[in-house]
Amino acid sequence: MCGIVAVIGSREAAPLLLEGLRQLEYRGYDSAGLATVEALAAGPAGSPAEGRLTCLRAEGKLINLTHRYEQHGAPGQCGIGHTRWATHGKPEERNAHPHLDGSGRLAVVQNGIIENFRTLREELQAEGVVFRSDTDTEVIPHLVARQLERIQQGRPASGALLLEAVQQVLPLLHGAYALAVVWAALPGALVVARKAAPLLIGLGEGEFLCASDTPALAGFTRTILPLEDGEVALLTPLGIELYNAAGERQQRTPSLLSGTEHVADKRSFRHFMLKEIHEQPETAALWVARHLPEGGTAGGQAGASLVALPLDEGVYEGVERIQILACGTSRHAAQVGAYLLEQLAGIPTSVFYASEFRYAPPPLSAHTLTIGVTQSGETADTLAALAMEQERRSLVADPAFAPRLLGITNRPESSLGRLVPHILDIGAGIEVGVAATKTFLGQLLAFYGLALAFAERRGGGATGHGPEQLRRLVAALRALPEQLKALVEDHDRRCAELAHLFADTQDVIFLGRGINYPIALEGALKLKEISYIHAEGYPAGEMKHGPIALLDARVPVVSIAVPGLVFDKVLSNAQEAKARDAQLIGVAPEGPDTELFDTLLPVPEVDELISPLLTVIPMQLLSYHIAAHRGLDVDQPRNLAKSVTVE
């Protein structure tokens, strides 16, 4: 949520800031802004030059800010920028960042939420400060300016002075934030800080670029220094001074961004989302190549087992329960994962909304593995829930309750990667579309790997999934990339042809059962978030207990019906909907059983346990084409952001 950038060096800052913001626009696009500081004249020997601050802001997408920059310019080699996802205050220009102090000489951008901003605002107002926005952020420039006034006492403006003021203000701020501050008096320095929100510094040749996420850094440098929680840094063209929350100087070796996966390119596709749907066969092929070793045998010795995951053996040992924390689409992947972990590996598994878990955690259970699932690795609810679990378990003396945390993510370098000791990297490459598609498939595959790895170590046991069945599942997974390729191409065409039928649709019901119930939920979420059509996912058997009252000829029903445990039941549930005149769309194999559907989106017949990896494709493409047909902004749907870094 919200992206911030900051730059200092010898080049003009504004073009670098705009390019950085372009790469971060997926984090929010309600408004954008930048502030630069231009050196006016060299100061007396030994003192820094005085400068002038230019602040430009525009409501709406980044292009509006770019136009404003083209008209007005923003000179200077030091600056900060922001792309906003509105939390406090409407998405209007006056609430756009940067926010300024009363003198207009100090500017701040912030990503996060200052939870005690009302108290701070009242305190400042009582001192005569006039606020110009409704945001929580605006307290920060006023607080820093007040602190500067208190401590300056005739000292010349310097980076050390600004740093000291910011360090003294940070303890007053409650909540999670990443922020950057520039001061007109200081054209050669800026200060950045973070607490429970991401911020990375990219190291160039005599210049530094800070950003909320790696895509903004990838075109600038591959050498990065992620700020740790609570750290503050003073940046000048000469170097970085890094301090922890206690004010102690820190030294750390920078790391390298790997590969080209941080560069976003739409290729010839109309939208990133469509490109990312089409990349799923590749996501699956990479996963198969990495994790299903040739010649692996169920129950084999290390190196010869069916599944090779980069996890210490200790992750599997003695696990009696699993709890999974996630939000949105990641939570749907977790629900499929829970089904697999219970039915394949026989481990009792619960899935929680991360945002609920933190405030109503279940009683502590012994020998429990906690898995956090987040494609971005930055979802504040998920991170906070994991941190809470880590903390409450660390307080228990009995080692049976000790924290055991595992993360599943597409961004191993994210805050999640720094929070948990074990990571399963889904390796799907950067996903730009706000609607998660290939990362969902990657998360599903991670759960297939984990469930198989547990099942293999437990020899099937109570669930009756012996080595033979595990081998069959692995063989089915190997066939997946080819099946996905054919399916994506076929359904891209079919769904494009179908989309016009939904031109006036207001409600859609998605039905599934068993392992495909979470796919019905995911189908409904995809449709809601990009087409703004109301949609609900239900377990098909639950319809008759109330929701069936919604059905009539105006409400299409998408039913996932794959051969297996509940095939006949799902077909009966679909018949019940048809009897209420609903237009029935089936996601099912072709055959006499599925002739009841008005429209069929055919999927190959596979082991029911594997089917979610295929049934999700028509869900994604149907939503995509409906939204595209309606002419909506598929990649940047209203009110949403790719990375939800506020609780």
**Nearest approach, Cβ of residue 378 and ligand AGP (Å):** 7
Judged by DSSP in three states, 315 sits in helix
One residue of 436, 450, 498, 610 binding ligand AGP per CB under 6 A: 436
**Cα angle at 100 between 99 and 106, to 5 degrees?**
125
Closer Cβ to ligand AGP, 447 or 567, answer by number: 447
Residues 292-351 touching ligand AGP, rule: CB under 6 A, are 327-330
| Residue number closest to ligand AGP, CB atom | 328
**Nearest approach, Cβ of residue 620 and ligand AGP (Å):** 10
Closer Cβ to ligand AGP, 376 or 615, answer by number: 376
320 near 365, Cβ under 8 Å?
yes
Closer Cβ to ligand AGP, 414 or 594, answer by number: 414
Q: Does 423 bind ligand AGP (CB under 6 A)?
A: no
Tell me the two tokens of residue 220. Answer: 């600038």
Question: Residue 334 and residue 371: Cα distance in Å, rounded?
Answer: 9
Residues 255-294 touching ligand AGP, rule: CB under 6 A, are none
**Nearest approach, Cβ of residue 10 and ligand AGP (Å):** 36
Q: Does 540 bind ligand AGP (CB under 6 A)?
A: no
Closer Cβ to ligand AGP, 296 or 433, answer by number: 433
One residue of 111, 323, 382, 516 binding ligand AGP per CB under 6 A: 382
Closer Cβ to ligand AGP, 98 or 433, answer by number: 433
**Nearest approach, Cβ of residue 375 and ligand AGP (Å):** 4
Closer Cβ to ligand AGP, 20 or 442, answer by number: 442
**Nearest approach, Cβ of residue 644 and ligand AGP (Å):** 5
- Select which of 2, 55, 210, 495 is catalytic: 2
210, 374, 569 from 406: Cα distances, Å: 28, 11, 36
Question: Residue 492 and residue 622: Cα distance in Å, rounded?
Answer: 8
One residue of 1, 2, 232, 435 binding ligand AGP per CB under 6 A: 435
Judged by DSSP in three states, 641 sits in coil
- HSE at residue 617, side-chain half, CA atoms within 13 A, is 28
Question: Residue 324 and residue 187: Cα distance in Å, rounded?
Answer: 48
Closer Cβ to ligand AGP, 368 or 643, answer by number: 643
Q: Does 375 bind ligand AGP (CB under 6 A)?
A: yes
Tell me the two tokens of residue 308. Answer: 């090779």
* The 3-state secondary structure of 498-525, one letter per residue: HHHHHCCCCEEEEEECHHHHHHHHHHHH
Residues 495-534 touching ligand AGP, rule: CB under 6 A, are 529
Total number of residues binding ligand AGP (CB under 6 A)?
Answer: 16
The window from 1-9, 428-436, 470-478, 540-548 that contacts ligand AGP (CB under 6 A) reads 428-436
**Nearest approach, Cβ of residue 617 and ligand AGP (Å):** 15
Pattern of binders to ligand AGP over 451-480, x per CB under 6 A? ------------------------------
Pattern of binders to ligand AGP over 114-143, x per CB under 6 A? ------------------------------
38 near 12, Cβ under 8 Å?
no
Q: Where are the alpha helices (DSSP H) in 100-194?
A: 117-126, 139-152, 159-169
Name residues whose C-beta falls within 8 Å of residue 109's C-beta, 6 or more positions apart in sequence.
4, 6, 33, 35, 80, 81, 82, 97, 98, 99, 137, 179, 180
418 near 260, Cβ under 8 Å?
no
First to last CA, the chain: 10
| CB contact burial 564-603 (16+ within 10 A = b; e otherwise) | bebbeebbebbebbbeeebbbbbbbbeeeebebbeebbbb
One residue of 111, 135, 137, 379 binding ligand AGP per CB under 6 A: 379
Closer Cβ to ligand AGP, 147 or 620, answer by number: 620
Tell me the two tokens of residue 231. Answer: 């750290």
Judged by DSSP in three states, 110 sits in strand
Closer Cβ to ligand AGP, 354 or 558, answer by number: 354
One residue of 83, 147, 283, 374 binding ligand AGP per CB under 6 A: 374
| CB contact burial 129-156 (16+ within 10 A = b; e otherwise) | beeebebbbbbbbbbbbbbbeeeeeeee
Say which amino acid occupies 445. L
Annotated active-site residue 642? The verdict is yes
**Nearest approach, Cβ of residue 431 and ligand AGP (Å):** 9
Question: Residue 596 and residue 586: Cα distance in Å, rounded?
Answer: 9
**Nearest approach, Cβ of residue 4 and ligand AGP (Å):** 18
- Select which of 275, 526, 528, 642 is catalytic: 642
Question: Residue 224 and residue 209: Cα distance in Å, rounded?
Answer: 9
Q: Does 644 bind ligand AGP (CB under 6 A)?
A: yes
Q: Does 611 bind ligand AGP (CB under 6 A)?
A: no
The window from 18-26, 41-49, 170-178, 369-377 that contacts ligand AGP (CB under 6 A) reads 369-377
One residue of 31, 95, 135, 376 binding ligand AGP per CB under 6 A: 376
Question: What residue ranges bind ligand AGP (CB under 6 A)?
Answer: 327-330, 374-376, 379, 382, 434-436, 529, 640, 643-644
Q: Which residues are catalytic?
A: 2, 642
